[in-house]
Amino acid sequence: MKKLKLMLLFVAFTTAMVSCKKENVSKSTIPDDTGSNPLSGRWVGKFGFGDETPDAYYSFKLKSDGTLDEMNSSNEKIGEGTWTLTGTIFKATHHYTSGSTFKDEATYDAATKTFSNGTWGYTTNSTDGGKWFMKKQ
Protein backbone atom coordinates (compact mmCIF):
# COMPACT_ATOMS: atom_id res chain seq x y z
CA MET A 1 0.00 0.00 0.00
CA LYS A 2 2.86 2.36 0.86
CA LYS A 3 4.46 1.74 -2.56
CA LEU A 4 1.15 2.43 -4.31
CA LYS A 5 0.77 5.79 -2.51
CA LEU A 6 4.34 6.76 -3.41
CA MET A 7 3.80 5.78 -7.03
CA LEU A 8 0.53 7.78 -7.21
CA LEU A 9 2.28 10.77 -5.63
CA PHE A 10 5.12 10.46 -8.15
CA VAL A 11 2.67 10.27 -11.10
CA ALA A 12 0.72 13.28 -9.81
CA PHE A 13 3.93 15.31 -9.32
CA THR A 14 5.28 14.36 -12.77
CA THR A 15 1.98 15.24 -14.44
CA ALA A 16 1.91 18.63 -12.73
CA MET A 17 5.48 19.43 -13.77
CA VAL A 18 4.99 18.39 -17.39
CA SER A 19 1.76 20.36 -17.78
CA CYS A 20 3.28 23.64 -16.56
CA LYS A 21 4.44 25.94 -19.33
CA LYS A 22 7.20 28.47 -18.96
CA GLU A 23 6.20 32.00 -19.85
CA ASN A 24 8.31 33.93 -22.27
CA VAL A 25 9.12 37.19 -20.45
CA SER A 26 10.68 39.98 -22.49
CA LYS A 27 12.65 42.97 -21.26
CA SER A 28 10.19 45.39 -22.74
CA THR A 29 6.49 45.38 -23.27
CA ILE A 30 5.69 45.98 -26.91
CA PRO A 31 2.01 46.01 -27.85
CA ASP A 32 1.45 43.36 -30.48
CA ASP A 33 -2.21 42.60 -30.98
CA THR A 34 -2.01 42.26 -34.76
CA GLY A 35 0.82 39.78 -35.08
CA SER A 36 3.25 42.49 -36.14
CA ASN A 37 4.90 45.24 -34.16
CA PRO A 38 2.84 48.46 -34.41
CA LEU A 39 5.93 50.57 -33.68
CA SER A 40 7.81 49.24 -36.71
CA GLY A 41 8.10 51.78 -39.49
CA ARG A 42 9.02 55.38 -40.09
CA TRP A 43 8.50 58.03 -37.42
CA VAL A 44 8.93 61.73 -38.22
CA GLY A 45 8.99 64.77 -35.99
CA LYS A 46 11.11 67.61 -34.67
CA PHE A 47 13.81 68.16 -32.05
CA GLY A 48 15.19 71.25 -30.36
CA PHE A 49 18.09 72.20 -28.09
CA GLY A 50 17.61 72.99 -24.41
CA ASP A 51 14.22 74.61 -23.77
CA GLU A 52 13.75 75.66 -27.41
CA THR A 53 10.58 74.61 -29.19
CA PRO A 54 11.54 71.64 -31.38
CA ASP A 55 11.89 72.79 -35.01
CA ALA A 56 14.67 70.65 -36.56
CA TYR A 57 13.83 67.53 -38.58
CA TYR A 58 14.04 64.26 -36.60
CA SER A 59 13.20 60.76 -37.86
CA PHE A 60 13.63 57.14 -36.82
CA LYS A 61 12.98 53.96 -38.76
CA LEU A 62 12.04 51.52 -35.98
CA LYS A 63 12.52 47.83 -36.66
CA SER A 64 10.60 45.04 -34.90
CA ASP A 65 13.84 43.48 -33.62
CA GLY A 66 14.47 46.49 -31.33
CA THR A 67 16.95 48.25 -33.61
CA LEU A 68 16.54 51.62 -35.28
CA ASP A 69 18.00 53.75 -38.04
CA GLU A 70 18.08 57.53 -37.71
CA MET A 71 17.12 59.10 -41.03
CA ASN A 72 17.65 62.59 -42.47
CA SER A 73 15.00 64.53 -44.40
CA SER A 74 16.20 62.88 -47.66
CA ASN A 75 15.44 59.48 -46.10
CA GLU A 76 19.15 58.60 -45.89
CA LYS A 77 20.47 56.68 -42.89
CA ILE A 78 22.68 58.86 -40.70
CA GLY A 79 22.78 56.78 -37.52
CA GLU A 80 21.69 53.57 -35.85
CA GLY A 81 20.87 52.19 -32.44
CA THR A 82 18.40 50.27 -30.29
CA TRP A 83 15.02 50.96 -28.71
CA THR A 84 12.64 49.57 -26.08
CA LEU A 85 9.09 50.23 -24.96
CA THR A 86 8.12 49.49 -21.38
CA GLY A 87 4.47 50.29 -20.78
CA THR A 88 4.18 53.69 -22.45
CA ILE A 89 7.83 54.72 -21.97
CA PHE A 90 9.90 54.65 -25.16
CA LYS A 91 13.70 54.68 -24.78
CA ALA A 92 16.37 54.70 -27.46
CA THR A 93 20.14 54.83 -27.65
CA HIS A 94 21.66 55.72 -31.00
CA HIS A 95 24.83 57.05 -32.55
CA TYR A 96 25.83 58.80 -35.73
CA THR A 97 28.33 57.23 -38.05
CA SER A 98 30.73 59.87 -36.72
CA GLY A 99 30.49 58.24 -33.28
CA SER A 100 28.41 60.72 -31.23
CA THR A 101 25.99 58.82 -28.93
CA PHE A 102 22.55 60.05 -27.84
CA LYS A 103 19.78 58.83 -25.55
CA ASP A 104 16.08 59.55 -26.07
CA GLU A 105 13.01 59.06 -23.92
CA ALA A 106 9.35 59.84 -24.65
CA THR A 107 5.77 58.85 -23.89
CA TYR A 108 4.11 56.58 -26.45
CA ASP A 109 0.40 57.04 -27.20
CA ALA A 110 -0.97 54.03 -29.10
CA ALA A 111 -4.26 55.77 -29.93
CA THR A 112 -2.59 58.71 -31.72
CA LYS A 113 0.58 56.83 -32.75
CA THR A 114 2.78 59.56 -31.32
CA PHE A 115 5.82 60.01 -29.12
CA SER A 116 5.33 63.10 -26.96
CA ASN A 117 7.09 64.89 -24.10
CA GLY A 118 10.35 63.58 -25.51
CA THR A 119 13.73 64.50 -24.11
CA TRP A 120 17.14 63.68 -25.52
CA GLY A 121 20.66 63.90 -24.25
CA TYR A 122 24.29 63.17 -24.84
CA THR A 123 26.02 59.83 -24.13
CA THR A 124 24.28 58.45 -20.99
CA ASN A 125 21.79 61.20 -20.06
CA SER A 126 18.41 61.45 -21.82
CA THR A 127 17.60 64.97 -20.59
CA ASP A 128 20.63 67.24 -21.07
CA GLY A 129 20.17 67.92 -24.82
CA GLY A 130 16.66 69.11 -25.51
CA LYS A 131 13.11 68.14 -26.43
CA TRP A 132 11.54 66.13 -29.28
CA PHE A 133 8.32 64.58 -30.62
CA MET A 134 7.40 62.21 -33.47
CA LYS A 135 4.38 60.74 -35.22
CA LYS A 136 4.22 57.45 -37.12
CA GLN A 137 4.04 57.90 -40.90
pTM of the model as a whole: 0.74
The verdict on residue 15 lying in a domain is no
DSSP codes joined into one string, the chain: -HHHHHHHHHHHHHHHHHH-------SS----SSSS-TT-EEEEEEEEETTSPP-EEEEEEE-TTSEEEEE-TTS-EEEEEEEEEETTEEEEEEEETT--EEEEEEEEETTTTEEEEEEEEETT-SSSSEEEEEEE-
Instruction: Flag whether pLDDT at 82 surpasses 60.
Output: yes
Give 88-132 pLDDT, tens digit per residue: 999 999 998 778 999 999 999 999 999 999 999 998 899 999 999
Greater confidence (111 vs 17) lies with: 111
The domain that holds 84 is classified in CATH as 2.40.128.120
Domain that holds residue 88: 41-136
Q: How many domains are contained in the chain?
A: 1
